[in-house]
Structure 1
Amino acid sequence: MISVVQNVAIDCADAYGLARFWSEVTGRPLDPDNRPGDRETQVPLGEGPVLYFNQVPEARTVKNRIHLCLRPDTSRDREVERLLALGAAFVADHRNPDGTGWAVLSDPEGNEFCVLRGDEDHARTPARP
């Protein structure tokens, strides 16, 4: 017997607004039944689990113990710039002079996520994260 990951649940203050941000990040549309003000929204990713946003009354108080890691189809640095323009915030820089490493950003509600090296980066630098 096994279990299949159905969704990645993200507690938030504004389910629809945060789902719109992640829809832009992933290039995937919100569920067509979702509307502004909905307390539960989702972004189907096509293959794999759904990003599920659940509106909760309490604010985020501690660092995420689980987070998303994104691998862009372009370069890591270009994707970081795109995500910052969408409303993400820069948290920490773990990029190395040799082109390896990652950047830590947060979404508009403070949930941290990583941006790994992208396809273009892998073509130019050693095969490491």
Structure 2
Amino acid sequence: MSVELTHLTLYSDDPVSLARFWAAVFTTSVTQDQGPAPRPRVVFEEGRRPEVLYFEGPRAGHLSGSGAVLGIQSETGTLAQEVARLIGLGALIVVEEKGVEGLPKVTMSDPGGNQFSVVPGKEEQIDWERAREAESKELTSGTATAVIIVPDEERSGNGGA
């Protein structure tokens, strides 16, 4: 049996503003969910997962933010460019760190306090992996050279005395 992620719900003190933020992140638009308690949502094009992001007010007894961490990856451009774009939309950097296999990762928070991770785009990941492989080959195929630097006083036989 396999499963697919169909939707995520993010909680915020201002669900409409948060929906606008995420719509801008994914360059799509906000629509209004139909039903007895309409809520803003971001619907993705067919075939993308998740299909829908829902936005609701804070849950009773819970802080703003869902406790889930979303992961996003730019389809084009670099990690630095995507982080700068997201900051321009209102996101904040929480921490810059190394993720899986040392690949850079930036954890950010949206205007509602929900954290998400941004990883390098596919092209940047391929370049990073190639550079890492080349570095590894260089380390294993070369010969080691040691350079010992002797202070002047030791060369003259004073030994520092």
Aligned 8 A contact 2:98 2:104 in 1:
yes
CA contact (8 A) 2:71 2:118 kept: yes
- Residue pair 1:10, 1:53 contacting (<8 A) in 2 also: yes
Higher relative contact order (CA 8 A, sep 6+): 1
- TM-score when normalising by structure 2: 0.64
| Cα RMSD for the two superposed structures | 3.0
* Structure 2 unmatched ranges of 5 or more: 133-161
Which residue type is aligned with residue 54 of structure 2?
Y
Q: Compare the two structures and name the one with the higher helix fraction.
A: 2
Q: How many residues align?
A: 123
Residue deviations 1:48-103 (CA, integer Å, cap 9, x gap)? 2201001236586387542110110221111001100110001001148xx82200
**Contact 2:11 2:64 (8 Å CA) reproduced:** no
TM-score of the aligned structures, taking structure 1 as reference length:
0.78
Q: 1:117 to 1:86 in 2, by over 3 A?
A: same
- Structure with higher Rg: it is 2
Q: Look up the match of 2:81.
A: 78
Q: Is the counterpart of residue 93 in structure 1 residue 96 in structure 2?
A: yes
**Structure 1: unaligned runs, 5 residues or longer:** none
Contact 1:13 1:57 in 2 (8 A): no
Q: 1:109 aligns with which of 89, 97, 112?
A: 112
Identify which range, 38-47 or 109-118, moves more after superposition.
Answer: 38-47
What is the CA–CA distance in structure 2 between the aligned matches of 1:59 and 1:26, rounded to whole Å? 30
CA distance in 2, matches of 1:65, 1:55: 14
- Match in the other structure for 1:27: 27
Q: Which residue of 1 aligns with 2:39?
A: 40
Per-residue deviation at 1:45?
A: 1.6
